[in-house]
Amino acid sequence: MKETFSHRLRAARDLRKMSQGDLATKSGLQPSAISHFETGNRSPSFDNLKRLADALTVTTDYLLGRVEDPGASGPEAGSLFRHAENLSADDFKTLESMAKVLADKNRPNGGRA
């Protein structure tokens, strides 16, 4: 599990285009702790696992290797979903288009094939 977790932590951090320092700041952990987690020298406590998942907007199951898809989870994703009940069908189409543009922008090569 340690190897899977350390690999997934780095993959999620890279996906979110964060440095170890950025992740440390956003999660409230020390930069050295992030380094230890990514090298597999230490495992996070349950509380720190939740902090890391929230900071990276992924599920704890992804970080632990239980699912393949990092998903969208955490406070930011929850905030988006809370507003969904007030959206019309047209609003959803607009939101989907906007989300696709943002996702394409964040892909390697700016979404170009």
Mean pLDDT for the chain? 84
Range with lowest mean pLDDT among 33-42, 77-86, 97-106: 77-86
Residue 68 is predicted with a pLDDT of 81
d(CA 111, CA 35): 30
- What does the chain come to in residues? 113
One-letter identity of residue 99 = A
